[in-house]
Chain A
Amino acid sequence: MTKLTNRLTVYCGFVVGILGAVESRSLFAQEPTERGWVNVNAIVQGTTHTFSDRVQFATNSEEGEIFTEYAVRRNVVIDVMGGVRLWRYIGVGVGVMRSSQAGVSNTSTARVPHPFYFRRHRQVTGPTATDRTDTQIDIHGTAILPTGRRVRVMVFGGPTVVQVQQGLVTGVTTRDSYPYNTVTFQSYTKQRHNVSAIGFNVGVDVSYFFSDYIGVGGLVRYSRATVDFTAADGDTLQVVTGGPYVGGGLRIKF
């Protein structure tokens, strides 16, 4: 809890700082008129996250291992943000984004000990498909920077709650026969992990309104969180999630 509290304190302080800066600048600008807004975006994650896992296992009186590389690739997802203006240029909002990917891992490589000899592992690579679902809830303070009647710029930031459901390979089944110099891949087992973490997000949204209510816009956002998985052999696997996002879509204000 201490870690979580510290992170929240840092992120909230960061947001308050931004809002304070905007507020001091806004003394010289026209005040926005909307009470609230909804942004619906199609966004692309800007980076591919990779991580790997080594699972140790014991067989034939020796230790073997399964090595799996996971890659969370760029993905287009729908992101919905909404918020209300509280006072003058300052508001609060919340955004929800959900991303699902299949084939986060494609193959695993197993090193299986030889039944008769030490340090003569047989290596085999086989298909081990896993999937992943990221659900990200961004809570942010927003500064609305009016730059004209039709254009609106919003700067936002705040804590992010991330929930990651990730399948991890826990074992493989191989088959071998004398002289046991090779093994063939038979099947694999995986375990679905469901973990949450707190991170942060910051971003800028630029909108152009065709009318008083409807417009289009684009955003750039950066969010980051680190989740911890407990791997099959008991080790902790730290995985970074988030990153830069770029997207655009419909803008509604009221």
Chain B
Amino acid sequence: MVTIVRSRLLYPIVLCGVLLLVSERSPAQEPELFGTVVPAQLATPSTRSTLATADIDGVRQWDGYVQSLIRDGSLRLNRMDENTVIEGHAHERFTQYFRGVRIYGSGISRELVGGLAVSLSGIVYDNVDVDTSPTLSVDAVVSRVLPALGDDVMDVPELIVLPNPDDTYTLAYLVDVINDSEFTLYRYVLDAHSGDVLRRFDAFRTQDGKSSLGKGTKGDTKKLSVVRRPTWNVDLALDKLRPVDGINTYDMGFDTMRGWDHITRGTPFKDTELAATPSGREWEDAMVVDAHAYLGWTYDYLYERFLRHGLDGRDGRIKAIVNWPHPNMRLNKYLGGYFCNAFYFPPPRNLIFLGSGLTRSFTDGRNLRPCNPLAGAFEIVAHELVHGVTATSSNLIYWMESGALNEAFSDILGVSAEFFHASKGSGLPYAANYQIGDTTWVRPIRDMADPSRHFDFIYSDGSGAINHPDHYGSRWLPTDPKKPADAGWVHRNSSIVNHAFYLAIEGGRNRRSNKTVQGVGASNRADVEYAFYQAFTYHLNPTSTMRAARYWTIQKAPTAAARRALLAAWEAVGVHANQEVRVKFRSVSKRTSASCSLAMQIDITTGAKRFDVSSLRFDLHSVYGDARLREATVSASRFREYFGRSSIPPHTTVRSSLCWTAPSSHVSLELDLTGRLGNGVNGQYYSGRWQSFYNR
């Protein structure tokens, strides 16, 4: 909300208004203060405890607390796994409940050796204060969402306690709503009293593919593990050679409604729906061949590298569907997007879908880009299966930063599986690389080596390029926090983690930080993969952040060289160990005023330590093409003028309202705060990237 300018601030505004005219030519123009400075106020200390420790003293201290929560029933064990690589290590996963209601996103992972805790990670919520008696019953919720939001609900709505960013709690319902007419499936978080939508996000874990021109079927011959059914005289795409309880590839025969019912309502699959070919004859459906073979290849990678038994670590059935939906749905608003896409649908479905592709002849004249069948790209098939690994281990919520980690882990293991099989000569029909979708579209959709080099394109002619961030400071912020596009840009912000992974192996320089990393080298890539696998499957939790990923990957690095490389890589991409000062856009809005076209409110909140500001940098870019339009650095003295003080006490929030001119309407803005903490440690903190336009 914009507040009225106080008269004592008029003089600097006029002065700066003059300067703004100059700023059209000078890129070093500071933003202007246009609103009130909110006096520093004591922020309420967080009611959540974020645990991440492998230090013995820390573990002892925290484990006592965790034990007390287990005893009083607040923490309930929901899974225990033996570490498949480190003998004798077991991992317990707990979920926190408040008066019998699950706290959404809570979770503790505890590593045990001989019954003793050796590491702990996750989030527990302290001093939770919320009434757990909902005003709306489950039936009332269902009748409220139906038919307003859709046609059916997937499962019985679950009552949850939803932690809010401001450390308050809301009693809510979690419900997946199917909309048959629009072919949408959204997960809603609804207020349990008012029924208001608190959050909405896509229930699919998508590949987020963009259409582009690509080569056709690779024409390579693969081996398939199939089952012969003599009574039907057919071979079925059912893998029984691997120890998994079947890798089942189902052919939907382009029957739109049949596939939709399987995906959303969990209609049981029949054997007659398995892809089939006459006994002994070569398989001719390239989609089936690639999907079925690559799912097996991914299983093999997970087993041979990490001794993991499949998607859930317990050899649970892996199901995939191809040849869906019907081609006449290519122009459907929602289903049309799935011809050039793939998704993983989380438990209890545990279902992978791979789109059929779009031909160039079909896309000509339409604002669509062609793509090859998604099953033809091994890293994409592996990516989707690894979503299942995440869903049955860390269960990273597909939302904001944890969602970006979820996506990144799929990319990382997808690419790693590709390199693994390339090195083994398994018959990968193209060269392994760090790109996602490079054989599906004419351009890759993500590039770990240089995320900013590859773009999403808004328009089919290749214009409207939106680059991916390669640095934490450039992470994309949601335009609408309640219904954020792409669940909070999970497919873009994943590039930060992807790039750290790349740098830790191959080494190189980060464009934004200009920091150079000495990688472990391609021959030692397994060490970095191991660190990521251990961290993401055993130590991260549903709401983990990139900082937690940094901590645990470094902790789990198997060699000193890998540890050094990972430390340097995370530093290079701006994910620092210390992130206790938060820089946040409270609001940003565009205005028509020539001198104040971009109005913003900025909050800066300290943690447990005092923070002395050295500078605050403003960085304005074009949304398309990422060209830098303007930058400005505010010194400590100007900061004091804008925010009231430059030395911010612990647990305090300072706020300021500023305005700036933006030479283009499609801009993005980032803030970069530097200073020194009370303990003398220098810190650098980033707001992330706000963008003025572009909503998928």
Contact = CB atoms under 8 A, between A and B. Distances in A.
Interface residues of B, number: 16
A192 to B, nearest CB: 33
Given A178-B241, A178-B242, A115 B426 contact: no
Contacts of B221: 118
B144 interface: no
Contacts of A120: 424-426
A230 interface: no
Interface string A138-179: 000000000000000000000000000000000000000011
Interface stretch (B8-16, B296-304, B436-444): B296-304
Nearest to B427: A118
Decide if the interface of chain B is mainly helix, strand, loop or mixed.
Answer: loop
A115 B225 contact: yes
A61 B289 CA distance: 15
Interface in B297-315: 297, 300, 303-304
Nearest to A176: B241
A61 B223 contact: yes
Contacts of B225: 115-116
B244 to A, nearest CB: 9
Contact of A178 (B243, B424, B425, B426): B243
B303 A115 contact: no
A117 interface: yes
Contacts of A115: 223, 225, 241
Interface string A117-141: 1111000000000000000000000
A17 B242 CA distance: 73
A118 B296 CA distance: 14
B243 A117 contact: no
A60 interface: yes
Contact of B427 (A60, A61, A117, A180): A117
Contact of A60 (B223, B297, B303, B425): B223
Contacts of B300: 116, 179
Interface residues of A, number: 13
Interface in B211-232: 221, 223, 225
Nearest to A117: B426
Contacts of A117: 223, 424-427
A118 B427 CA distance: 7
Contact of B303 (A61, A114, A179): A179
Interface in B174-233: 221, 223, 225
Nearest to B421: A117
Contacts of B424: 117, 120
B427 A179 contact: no
A110 B427 CA distance: 22
Contact of B223 (A116, A178, A179): A116
Interface in B395-450: 424-427
A178 B293 CA distance: 16
Contacts of A116: 223, 225, 241, 293, 296-297, 300, 426
B427 A119 contact: yes
A61 B223 CA distance: 7
A60 B303 CA distance: 21
B430 to A, nearest CB: 16
Contact of B425 (A61, A119, A179, A180): A119
A165 B78 CA distance: 69
Contacts of B426: 116-117, 120
Contacts of B427: 117-119
A179 B296 CA distance: 11
Residue of A61, A116, A117, A178 most packed against chain B (CB within 10 A): A116
B530 to A, nearest CB: 18
Contacts of B425: 117, 119-120
A118 B223 CA distance: 7
A62 B224 CA distance: 12
Contacts of A178: 241-243, 303
B153 to A, nearest CB: 40
Interface in B243-281: 243
B292 to A, nearest CB: 11
B423 to A, nearest CB: 12
A203 B223 CA distance: 60
Nearest to B300: A179
A180 B221 CA distance: 20
B241 A179 contact: no
30 contacts: A60-B223, A61-B223, A62-B223, A114-B223, A115-B223, A115-B241, A116-B223, A116-B293, A116-B296, A116-B297, A116-B300, A116-B426, A117-B223, A117-B424, A117-B425, A117-B426, A117-B427, A118-B221, A118-B223, A119-B427, A120-B424, A120-B425, A120-B426, A178-B241, A178-B243, A178-B303, A179-B300, A179-B303, A179-B304, A180-B241
The 6 A-B residue pairs with the shortest CB-CB distance in the complex, in nearest-first order:
A117-B426, A178-B243, A118-B427, A116-B223, A115-B241, A61-B223
Given A116-B225, A116-B300, 18 more contacts: A60-B223, A62-B223, A115-B225, A115-B241, A116-B223, A116-B241, A116-B293, A116-B296, A117-B424, A118-B221, A118-B223, A120-B424, A178-B241, A178-B242, A178-B243, A178-B303, A179-B303, A180-B241
